[in-house]
Amino acid sequence: QPPFPPPTPLPLQYTAEFQERLHALNFHFEDLVLLNAEGRRDLEAFRKSQVDLVNYADFTAELRNPVVKTNVEGLAVDLERLSNVQSDRTLAGRLVEEAHKLRRVQNQIVLPMEALVAQLKESVQFLTTMSPSFQVL
């Protein structure tokens, strides 16, 4: 015996009204826009990008590498320390100038690149959750 009684059929008046409305329903599929022109262009560009040809194992391995293999800030600090012990003031000034340039590189290039790589890692991780066939080793 089933645990629940069978559902009670709806009164004929409701099903008849539903049937009438269903038959009166008209769809004009030619007016339905699934993708606007901009979306269509983006989808076509994505198709042509050959993203499916990317070796994702190598790509994600590369993402694990640091953006810069040198500690740029540490190098700037070392140059400033060297400038403090230099007897040649011209050389000391150049060392300080190079330290400032390194800090600009760190702030204007390295840090933004690290942020972009972090976003890229998140995007790749998102893709792995969205597509079971997309695998990252």
Looking at residue 26, its amino acid is N
Show pLDDT as tens, one digit a residue, over the chain (137 residues): 667 777 776 667 677 787 888 878 777 777 777 888 898 898 888 888 877 777 777 888 888 999 888 899 999 999 999 999 999 999 999 999 999 999 999 999 999 999 999 999 998 877 767 665 655 54
Between CA 78 and CA 38 the distance in angstroms is 52
Q: Tokens representing 110?
A: 């390295």
Q: What is the DSSP letter of 79?
A: H
Q: Which residues form the domain of 109? A: 12-135
pTM score of the predicted model: 0.56
CA-wise closest residue to 117 among 77, 74, 71, 64: 64
Q: Answer whether residue 3 is part of any domain.
A: no
Between CA 116 and CA 122 the distance in angstroms is 10
Q: Answer whether residue 129 is part of any domain.
A: yes
Q: Answer whether residue 39 is part of any domain.
A: yes
Q: Tokens representing 69?
A: 């293999």
Q: How many domains does the chain have?
A: 1
